[in-house]
Amino acid sequence: MEIAEFLQAMRDPSGIPFHPLVFQILMVLTFALHIMFVNFVVGGAFISLWGRLRGGHDGMRLSRALARAVTIMLSVAIVLGVAPLLFVQVIYDPFWYTANVMSAWWTMGFLLAIGVAFYAFYGFYLGSRKTGGNVLWSIIAIASVLVSAVIIHALSVEQLQPDKWREWLVNGLTVDVSGHGLYAFELPRILHFIVPSFAMAGIFLMLYAWYFRDRVDYNASYVAFVASLGARLAFWGTAVQAAVGIWWVLTIPKALEFIYNPFFLVGAISGLLLLFYLSKARQAPVEYAVNSALFALGTILLMSYAREALRMAYVGGFGYSIFDYRVVTDWGSTVLFFATFLGGLVVVAYTCMVAFQAGKGQSG
């Protein structure tokens, strides 16, 4: 059986309940939000550990603040990560389910690693409130997050290479159905997702300084320290990310002609403009904080659409298109989904508004 026929046979015979473009747009949007908070978690965790090891009043205070923030942001990242994963399972089910079965033990290990990371982050946070936090908890948390990143990266790459599935699983007359294997790893690709963590954490620090600048219990020297550190991290993190992005693009098969893809070109231009904007932001980090965050979010969205265009190019090489999926419109489930989605946005927006106003008040 040809690969294209196999992939078509693997699709859900009952079809999908609405047009695949809707699932694709929501998948990219929710992935962009998810990866932004993942970046906050990874970058924030490293800075929190650095502050703890650096010591001093400013370093310890920043470490404690980020230790608390990282536990919250990890929760948000996990919740936001469910949505794009579900959308992937709907329109790319032959690829995603196959990768998960081939590496089943690693898929379950991903959940374990995330759980360990959360509790280790929380343990570091609780300790930081009294003694500054046990460095070991922070190291365990960071290591667990990186392990989970490697696993999800490998699964994502495995799904894009159906031409290698037989090579990975079949050895003569023996078929490996153990699920123990992890078959794909691309260093520039995973760095493309990890390096921005420092840039996004830098922007988060700029926002932190902007938000607390008027609080009387936050002295000006501390706010200036955080703002300056954030601006430097944001700029240099973005600069390194640009270099890593070029490296990754050069490793993509030339036959895909991704370098000419309009989504990639627009995303790359946006990234360069962001780098230029962040170079100016170093002069006045607090004043540039909000616009830098909005600019970064827009760039992440564009890059996420470029990533989806690349996935479509990969799977298109095997005769697969999400737009060929059988559509069996189900208005009931669709209306219910969007109603709960919009209702959830209202609840989240109100909660964020209350939290934003509460944080402006005096501590205690």
DSSP string, 87-148: HHHHHSHHHHHHHHHHTHHHHHHHHHHHHHHHHHHHHHHHHHTTTS--HHHHHHHHHHHHHH
Mean pLDDT in residue range 320-348: 90
What pLDDT is recorded for position 362?
62
Sign of CA dihedral 9, 10, 11, 12: positive
Residue 364 has pLDDT above 60, yes or no: no
pLDDT category, 314, cuts 50, 70, 90? very high
In tens, the pLDDT along 159-202 reads 999 999 999 998 887 888 888 999 999 999 999 999 999 999 99
Across the chain, which distance is largest between two alpha carbons, in Å? Answer: 73
What pLDDT is recorded for position 1?
55
| DSSP conformational letter for 16 | B
What pLDDT is recorded for position 31?
95
Residue 267 has pLDDT above 70, yes or no: yes
Q: Which of 232-241, 272-281, 347-356 has the lowest mean pLDDT?
A: 347-356
Residue 363 has pLDDT above 60, yes or no: no
In tens, the pLDDT along 117-140 reads 999 999 999 988 877 778 999 999
How confident is the prediction for the chain on average, in pLDDT?
A: 92
